[in-house]
Amino acid sequence: MPDKPIEIWDKVDSFFTDALIPPDPALDAATAANRNAALPAIDVTPLQGRFLELMIRATAAQRVLEIGTLGGYSTIWMARAVGPNGKVITLELDPHHAEVAQRNFQEAGVSDRIELRLGPASESLAALIREKSAPFDFIFIDADKSGYPEYIQQSLKLSRPGTLIIADNVVRDGKVIEPHSPDPNIQGVRRFTELIAAQPRLSSTVLQTVGSKGYDGLAISIVLS
Ligand code: SAH
Ligand code: DHB
Ligand code: MG
């Protein structure tokens, strides 16, 4: 992420956020709680939260998997989108993040549709595979970028034809194009890209994004078979 987003990106993000996303006591309280608890300000933006909602509604997803909860800002958007009979399983490594998230879920009134699993995501995913979990309809990958290669391979085992998989932060201020980057996050995203490209079960694209969180992008894949 750049230290400071380009001013015009920030202003345009605010313009469309003010126009399209009304103030929302539960989401605004979650954002405030996350900053008060000193969680890093790397939640999806309001417009990106709406994008996740739209993708979930468009695919009528009922079972959602999120890898990387933080304070649960994105989780609340997705839990609302699945509706009262849907379910979101969200995976988080950091117990402090998980505790803040659980409080935010309660405040937002969506705790009953969310299951937070604490621990390294690769282990939680392995457990879901072992438990023969029903396939997910929608998967949002947003934890440590160095883990993306493993998360996509495990996600495929938790998918069915039609499952939509979105991975956040694949552009990283453009650093993704540096083949010799020493940053394990960049190497993770590069390897992730090779894997989705070579995977015949996936059809994939990437959307570059700018806004209040800088210059980044989303990888979007659909499971074909
Ligand atoms: N989806 C959230 C943001 C997630 S930030 C939102 O948009 O609101 C990334 C999160 O992944 C952090 O909370 C971090 O603690 C968590 N994380 C990092 N490494 C992890 C791992 N190995 N397993 C599970 N979670 C991890
Ligand atoms: C980082 C992680 C994220 O999930 C994000 O949206 C932005 C930044 C990070 O680890 O730097
Ligand atoms: Mg992210």
Largest CA distance in the chain: 48
Q: What is the mean pLDDT of residues 193-208?
A: 99
Query: At residue 9, does pLDDT exceed 80?
Result: yes
Give the confidence band of 202 by pLDDT, cuts at 50, 70, 90.
very high
Q: Looking at domain 5-223, what is its CATH homologous superfamily?
A: Vaccinia Virus protein VP39 (3.40.50.150)
Mean pLDDT of the chain: 98
**Rounded to an integer, what is the distance from CA 102 to the centroid of its chain?**
17
Q: What is the mean pLDDT of residues 120-134?
A: 99
Please tell me the predicted confidence (pLDDT) of residue 5: 86
Tokens 């929608």, residue? 138
Number of neighbours of residue 182 by Cβ within 10 angstroms:
7
Read off the tokens for 33. Answer: 């709680």
Q: What is the pTM of this model?
A: 0.98
Q: How far is the CA of 185 from the centre of ligand 2 (A)?
A: 10
**Distance (Å, rounded) from C-alpha 118 to C-alpha 158?**
18
Instruction: Give percent of the chain with pLDDT exceeding 90.
Output: 98
Please tell me the predicted confidence (pLDDT) of residue 108: 98
**Distance (Å, rounded) from C-alpha 77 to C-alpha 27?**
8
Whether the CB-CB separation of 102 and 93 falls below 8 Å is answered with: no
Residues lining ligand 1, Cβ inside 6 A: 42-44, 68-70, 73-74, 91-94, 97, 120-121, 142-144, 147
Residues 6+ apart with CB under 8 A from 200: 224, 225
Q: How far is the CA of 186 from the centre of ligand 2 (A)?
A: 12
Q: What residues does each domain of the chain span?
A: 5-223
